[in-house]
A and B are shown apart, each in its own frame.
Chain A
Amino acid sequence: MSRFFGHSSSSESETESENEIVEVQKPRQQIHTFESDEEDKRQRVVLPEREKRVEEINALVRQLKNAKKIKDVVKSNQSFEELIKSYDKCKKIIEKEGHLKHYIRAIAELENFVNELWADAAWKSSASKPNSTALTKLRQRIRKYNKDFEAEITDFKAHPESYPEEEKVAGAKESESEKSSEEESESEEGSESESEDEEPKAKPSKVKVAKDEDSDSESDWSMSDETTSDEDIDYDQGDSWKAFLKDKTTEKVSKKEKEKPRKTKEKVIVETDEETEKPKIERKLFGKDDEINPTSVLNKLNEIISSRGRKGTDRFEQLELLKELRNISRLHNVGPALDFKIIFNQMAISFDYNTRVSACMKADTFHECLRMLDEMINILVDNQNIEVNETVLDEEENVTDKTKPYKIRGCVLTMADRMHEEFIKILQQCDAHGTEYVERLKDEPKLSALIDKLQSYLEVKGSTQELCRVYLRKVENIYYKYDKDNEKKSAELVDRLCKYIYTNDSTDRLRAKAMLCHIYHNALHDRWFEARDLILMSHLQESIDNSDIPLQILYNRTMVQVGLCAFRVGNIKEAHSALLDIQVGNRAKELLAQGVMVQRNVEKTKEQEIKERQRLIPFHMHINLELIECVYLVSAMLIEIPYMSSRDFETKKRLISKQFHYQLKSSERQPVVGPPENMREHVVAASRSMKKGDWKACTEFLINEKMNAKVWGLMPQSDKVQQMLREKVKEESLRTYLFRFSSVYESISIESLAEMFELPRSFVYSVISKMIINEELMASLDEPTQTVVMHRTEPTKLQTLALQLSEKITNLMDQTERMVQIRGGEMGAFLNRNQQGQQNQQSQQSKGQGYKQQRGQRGGQQQQQQHQQQKEAHKNY
């Protein structure tokens, strides 16, 4: 269980009851809900601390008793856990008065009950599985727990009469508590009408309850109010609510169900809102005779917000009150600082509005918030004497005294950040292909404008750290947008902002983020060198495994963008190595947080899935996955095909790109190869023609209507890219041709090669020279006749075998060495050196595996490892 399910027992009941038969589950859940609901109402009358606690325990003891009565162990287990918890809360009282007697009685009786059941063979055989497992659990638990109370329990056994079942709480409460205990026993039958009766009684302010369903949702709502002190609990409250809902909506037990209740819930919330509206607004904030001045307004404000985050506060009511207060205060002109403070709190409460982490704001609330944020910033800009800071202490705060500079505790920037988060959430919840998404996306410019405004304000007043934060926020808004018209300007802007962050930021996190955004932006606009140098200087590859997941996602996105950029600029090797890590294992979607992957063999828990969903990048920031794959495959083809052809005669073949080979092989397996349909087939077909050195067919497969529509059209300067691609294909085809068919020639004229591949002569010359120098091609040029003369002498059979043998011996040697090393043999300096040599060789051979032109001391090898680690780390999340 993760922290999500932390300590709340109701959630446990939820997960357990899921296994249970639905019938059993139904009434129980209800009991629980109603009961706590009532309790909640009671608590609105302020009780002294002790009585409150005692009351709580009483209620639980009753619950326990009821559960025992029907021999429901699961339930009693729960109640027991709750009991322990609430008992822990009254430690203070215990210290003062010793243990509560009725509590001792309860636990002692429970132990007896458990022991009886344990011994009861008949019950055991008839009991359902959850019940019997719960019993075992409870038995162990209670044994352990009761050890602490040994003395008291023996005392209780001696004088049971002196231990009352319940401790009475002061006067008026008494009757009600008794009554409610009666109700509870009744409500065991699980009738919903019961609660309906209860409702008006407990809460007379409520005018009427229209429908059955409404009252349900209402009670549920206030119940989740009760415990919303932190997010963790929010979630499970939602869950228990869901379970509650289950019985009246559908009995379906499927994962899809999860979506449904969420939506229904939203609807229900709306209903509740409408309902509560009427009575609340009528309430007057100030009496008729009250004088309205800043101090009184402040007092009122404090009064309202003091209940924020408490149990049982109605946020909607609070919001309305604040609105009202603000109107009043405006009428009476109480000063900008106070006005600011009111809006600030209004916003804070709006953010609290949703109890669930995953739920998002409604559109109009969001607009409202945008407006409020705007107002807040305006106030700050207009009134330079207001100081808003998180470090201002509550005592120092000054919003009323006009003579001194205003000081307010709080941070507008945080609000802006939360707005941004909320915005992302809203987008996540939308269907990316619907019009709604577009509608919501229209808010983005507004948000950006606000951030700009905030930025210009902070540039005057803010601290460097705040500036860094707002700059980063801004950069994060810009970095993924391709600026067609004004590339220079945006580049300069990002450059300036990021450089400020680099120099002034005191936390590494902001810097790393800024750096990645900077690289991304550079790469997006084809500034390859800048992007590359920044990556190399950032040294992020070393530390990215240890960073948090959002940062890793950003890193992945950046690397992909860098790879695409390298491709567009024509650096095929770099493109391949940058994309390799994302493409390996077909997990691009997940690594880029552009969707949740359903994988075979990997069971994801619910929380994991929810977390993953929260991390998803909104659709408008996505990078096209097919584009990535295509670029990767094409780069792999350009590297791999000549390489494969050059190694035709070798025994040991090394794969540069496994994925590419996989595609090739799977197409080879097909009995009949039809004309290519999708992108992959196109690339495979292209590779096949490249293998034959047929560059024309190859380019036709790569660049045609279909591929343009699917892939190349997505690139900003697709003409240039296509041109580059044609050139590359020609070059690599030439190389492939030479590798493959050089053995057939005694000599070839450069002229005819140039004609064949439609390349300039000098280029062919340079390609061939390169191959000769690198000893890839056994040939030399004959200058007077302008031909390439082949020197390749086919080794005789014996020679080939001898070569193979020597290779095998070397292999054997390597293996032996490794084995000795593993067994802890001391490897002399010689061996170590030797191995390093091998590694170097390998890394040199592995063309472009990892960035070889690292500026640090990292070799390609090492980086590969790091990337692997990174992948693993990612896997673990």
Chain B
Amino acid sequence: MPEYDLTLKIAKHLDRHMIFPLLEFLSSRKIYDEKSILATKLDLLNNTNMVDFAVDCYKNLNPDDEVPEHLIEKRKHIVNELVELRDLVSPFIDLFEREDVKKLLETDRDHTIILDHLRNNYSEYNPDETIPVLYRFAKFQYDCGGYEKTASILDAYRILVPGNDRHIGDVLWGKLASDILTQNWEQSANDLAQLRDWIDKNEKDTNALQTLQQRCWLIHWGLYVYFHHPKGREQLIDLFFTHGESYLNVVQTTCPHILRYITAAAIISKRRKNIMKDLVKIIQQEAYNYRDPITELVECLYVNFDFDGVQNKLEKCDQVLANDFFLAAFHDEFMENARLFSFETFCRIHQCITIKMLAEKLNMTNDEAEKWIVDLIRNARLDAKIDSKLGHVVFGAQAISPYQQIIEKTKNLTMRANAISISIDKKIKNVDNMGNWNKTASTSE
């Protein structure tokens, strides 16, 4: 199913290192030629310091050839530099293991205090000169694939520099990347939040295009977190629907393919009701620009009410999900939810359906379908009864009585009346005070 594969589109917005998991996944799904994947990998590796990996790849790609000279050459070079940097930095890093520093780090979050402490007590380590090297070392480590180490060094770096350091953005990005690559989802969710704050904060200072780019990256990198972290889907929905519209705008302008993930998250998540309307609007708007079975599914359900179409799309979704790196893990959950979802809508429209037809629509046997419905009824998610003689499901009527309507309409009137009376009281008090003040003023004269 390469037609629905988004790897290429997504990869554009990812860091080099983060593409490897995607490629690994692709090769496991075998939808592309193994060779071409290996070649891509090698290509990617060329600009990193992970020479060993590159050599492996090369061997896989050309089993008969010798490993080319320049790779070996490069390896030597990199090892040298690594050693050099490590020598510079490692004693400094060891400092953090000392009792006093550790304690200080735990209690104090202010970088100046820590820095002063280091300057005063360990001046032989030249903290002021070493800190910039620390940053370089982290970058180097990252390039070599030492993500865990990178994360810890960057942590240290962040503590030691002021909040307006010019590298701070890079540090945040680096931290997020290394946390993602070490699959530390809890931590990376934190990083993501920090990064988002940072981008929002700097929105005014950077130009719009840059902000757009950064947000776009954030969304893409975030996919790793959102679809691995247990609360990720909720966070994804929050990002797009509760924190203003800036991220939705980004999706619409630069990367409409993200709509697949938003839609999937919305279907998987329980909170879909409120956001579905907005989402459908956006999907319709971008329909000419991007569509795949998942967005079409929603369209069928919410715009056309075409339940045969839904059925059809569900089948397609099945494949798309299986081949998507991020969504593969949610395959079953998605299918179940989508089914429930379409059934819910279906029920809202109908007052009576045959179980046979339902079974067809839900891709189940008659008995399964009946059982499924019984479960639903028992869990009180459905106001319905089964007429087993005719094989029908009959739903309760939901007509709203005028009585209900009037209650709805007048419910908040008391509250509003109260608010008015309070505000009038306030006003009167103010006027009185003014009067008093005037009086006192005139008497003092």
Which residues of A are in contact with B by a Cβ distance under 8 Å?
Answer: 529, 537, 762, 765-766, 768-770, 772-773, 778, 780-784, 789, 791-793, 795, 799-800, 802-803, 806-807, 809-810, 813, 816-817, 820, 823-828, 830-831, 834, 853, 855, 857
Contact = CB atoms under 8 A, between A and B. Distances in A.
Given A809-B413, A831-B416, A831-B423, 19 more contacts: A529-B288, A773-B345, A780-B351, A781-B350, A782-B350, A783-B352, A791-B397, A795-B402, A803-B409, A806-B409, A810-B409, A810-B413, A813-B416, A816-B420, A825-B423, A826-B427, A855-B249, A855-B253, A857-B245
Contacts of A855: 245, 249, 252-253
Nearest to A790: B399
Contact of B419 (A529, A770, A830): A830
A834 B411 CA distance: 13
The 6 closest A-B pairs by CB, nearest first: A769-B305, A780-B351, A799-B402, A783-B353, A825-B423, A529-B288
A828 B249 contact: no
B349 A780 contact: yes
Interface string B410-445: 101101110110111011000000000000000000
Interface of B: 244-245, 249, 252-253, 281, 285, 288-289, 303-306, 308, 345, 348-354, 357, 390, 392, 395, 397, 399, 402-403, 405-406, 409-410, 412-413, 415-417, 419-420, 422-424, 426-427
B305 A817 contact: no
Contact of A783 (B245, B305, B357, B419): B357
Contacts of A792: 399
A60 to B, nearest CB: 61
Nearest to A820: B420
A768 B349 CA distance: 9
Nearest to B412: A834
A851 to B, nearest CB: 11
27 contacts: A762-B308, A766-B304, A766-B306, A770-B303, A772-B349, A773-B305, A773-B345, A780-B350, A781-B349, A781-B351, A782-B351, A783-B350, A784-B352, A792-B399, A799-B403, A802-B402, A809-B413, A810-B410, A810-B413, A825-B420, A830-B415, A831-B419, A831-B423, A834-B416, A855-B245, A857-B244, A857-B245
B416 A782 contact: no
A853 B285 contact: yes
B295 to A, nearest CB: 15
A773 B348 contact: yes
B416 A772 contact: no
Contacts of B306: 762, 766
B413 A783 contact: no
Nearest to A795: B402
B423 A828 contact: yes
Nearest to B305: A769
**Is chain B's binding surface mostly helix, strand, loop or mixed?**
helix
Nearest to B277: A844
A450 to B, nearest CB: 36
Nearest to A854: B245
A748 B412 CA distance: 39
> Chain A's interface: helix, strand, loop or mixed, by majority?
helix
Contacts of B402: 795, 799-800, 802-803
A857 B249 CA distance: 10
A326 B399 CA distance: 92
Given A529-B288, A769-B349, A773-B348, A780 B395 contact: yes
Given A766-B304, A806-B406, A825 B417 contact: no
B297 to A, nearest CB: 15
A803 to B, nearest CB: 6
A386 B416 CA distance: 78
Contact of B410 (A781, A783, A806): A806
A772 B348 contact: yes
Contacts of B285: 853
A769 B402 CA distance: 23
A802 B420 contact: no
Contacts of B413: 809-810, 813
Contact of B409 (A770, A783, A807): A807
B346 to A, nearest CB: 9
A308 to B, nearest CB: 46
A782 B424 contact: no
A494 B444 CA distance: 78
A401 B249 CA distance: 59
Nearest to B405: A803
A781 B306 CA distance: 14
B329 to A, nearest CB: 32
B305 A766 contact: yes
B203 to A, nearest CB: 14
A765 B309 CA distance: 13
A813 B409 CA distance: 12
Contacts of A529: 288-289
B279 to A, nearest CB: 12
Contacts of A853: 281, 285
B392 to A, nearest CB: 6
A830 B357 CA distance: 49
A828 B422 contact: yes
Contacts of B423: 820, 825-828, 831
Contacts of B397: 780, 791
B406 A803 contact: yes
A773 B349 contact: yes
B406 A825 contact: no
A810 B415 CA distance: 12
B399 A765 contact: no
A793 B288 CA distance: 42
A89 B68 CA distance: 88
Nearest to A778: B399
A142 to B, nearest CB: 52
Contacts of A825: 420, 423-424, 426-427
A765 B305 CA distance: 8
Contacts of A807: 409
Contacts of A789: 351
Contacts of A813: 413, 416-417
A768 B289 CA distance: 29
Contact of A824 (B352, B399, B422, B427): B427
Contacts of A537: 253
Nearest to A775: B400
A791 to B, nearest CB: 4
Most buried by B among A768, A778, A825, A827: A825
Contacts of A781: 349-351
Contacts of A820: 420, 423-424
A411 to B, nearest CB: 31
Contacts of A770: 303, 305
A792 B417 CA distance: 33
A807 B423 CA distance: 24
A809 to B, nearest CB: 7
Contacts of B352: 782-784
B282 to A, nearest CB: 8
A504 to B, nearest CB: 15
Contacts of B288: 529
Contacts of B419: 827-828, 830-831
Contact of A793 (B281, B305, B399, B422): B399
Contacts of A810: 409-410, 413
A802 B406 contact: yes
Contacts of A793: 399
Contact of A784 (B244, B304, B354): B354
Contacts of B308: 762
Contacts of A782: 350-352
Contacts of B249: 855
Contacts of B253: 537, 855
A855 B278 CA distance: 12
B245 to A, nearest CB: 6
A822 to B, nearest CB: 12
Which of B253, B352, B397, B426 has most A Cβ within 10 Å? B352
Contacts of B305: 765-766, 769-770, 773
B287 to A, nearest CB: 9
